[in-house]
Amino acid sequence: MNGSLVNANSISGNGYPLIMVFWKTTDQSEKLKSIYQIYSDSLVHKKIKIVAINLDEAISTNLIQPYVKSNDLQMDVYIDVNGDFK
């Protein structure tokens, strides 16, 4: 989310299960908040890691960081503008 390139192989649960959520700010963004709420209520204590992969078009990437911060989503968020990861 900070603009640096990330190799997909570096995204890891550090030996624990990893949940990847693919989402768009313009389409069903409430689902990401719901998933995060379930995660923070019960899964974080089981050492399960969650990451969010945003699939927005380049024109709407400026919406991602404010959305994540305003909803206090404390997870790693990556932006897949070109759809390479997807």
**Cα–Cα nearest to 50, from 62, 40, 64, 60:** 40
> Cα(35)–Cα(33) distance, rounded to whole angstroms?
5
Question: What phi, psi does 72 have (nearest 5°)?
Answer: 50, 45
Determine the pLDDT at residue 56: 87
- Whether 19 has a pLDDT exceeding 80, the answer reads yes
Determine the pLDDT at residue 25: 83
> Cα(86)–Cα(55) distance, rounded to whole angstroms?
8
Determine the pLDDT at residue 77: 93
**Cα–Cα nearest to 53, from 15, 17, 14, 18:** 18
Q: What is the pLDDT of residues 29-76, one digit of tens each?
A: 688 888 999 999 988 889 899 999 999 888 888 888 998 999 899 999
Q: Tell me the pTM.
A: 0.85
- Whether 78 has a pLDDT exceeding 90, the answer reads yes
Q: Where are the domains of the chain?
A: 16-79
